[in-house]
Amino acid sequence: MKVKLAYIANNSVRKATFKRRKKGLLKKTEELRILCGVDACGIIFHPYDPEPEVFPSHIEAQRIISQLRNKSELEQHRRMVSQKDFITQRVTSVNGQIVKQQKEVRHKEMTRIMFQCLNGEGFLHLNMVDLKDLNSLVGQYIIDIDRRIDFLEKNH
């Protein structure tokens, strides 16, 4: 650009430029509306000028603004819903992980108790559920050990 893009200090030059360019902008806006069949509007105003320029018309601008409001409300709603979905998903996922870890912890605990028993340290403070789990665990160990014995017998 030849004329550098900066505030025009000279009052009358600035005013003339404003008038010309405002007209140009208005024209371009109208052309875009017609050529592309879109809703477009513009608002221009000098903070200390009595009459803001609203185009293509005040009524049309208001229509477009309220459309924008509705649309952005919808968008916001959509965003919130998708965020809720995301969080729900995370909660479900984390809950799954917790359950899995609880199972692991219990399994380790049972294993510890089993070996404690094998060392003849007895099992104190165990309720019925614990005993059942322990029984099941011991059963699985025995099955495993049987399998290993079979394997050794077949290979020797």
Partner DNA sequence: ATCTCTATTGTTAGGTT
Partner DNA sequence: AAACCTAACAATAGAGA
Residues 103-142 interacting with a copy of itself (rule: CB under 8 A): none
Does 46 sit near DNA (CB under 7 A)?
Answer: no
State the Cα–Cα distance between residues 85 and 129, nearest whole angstrom.
37
Give the rounded distance of the alpha carbon of 55 from its chain centre.
38
Does 98 sit near a copy of itself (CB under 8 A)?
Answer: no
Residues 14-33 interacting with a copy of itself (rule: CB under 8 A): 14, 17-18, 21-22, 24-25, 28-29, 31-32
Residue matched to tokens 């909660």: 91
Structure tokens of 99?
Answer: 């359950």
134 Cβ contact list (under 8 Å, min separation 6):
110, 113, 114, 123, 126
For residue 52, how many other CB atoms are within 10 A of its CB? 12
Binding mask 58-97 for a copy of itself (x = CB under 8 A): ------xx-xx--xx--x----------------------
Among 7, 9, 11, 51, binds DNA (CB under 7 A): 11
Nearest-Å Rg of the Cα atoms of the chain is: 39
The conformation of residue 69, written as its DSSP 8-state character, comes to: H
Instruction: Give me the residues that bind DNA (CB under 7 A), please.
Output: 1-3, 11-13, 15-17, 20-21, 23-25, 27-28, 35
Sites of contact with a copy of itself (CB under 8 A): 5-8, 14, 17-18, 21-22, 24-25, 28-29, 31-32, 34-47, 50, 52, 54, 64-65, 67-68, 71-72, 75
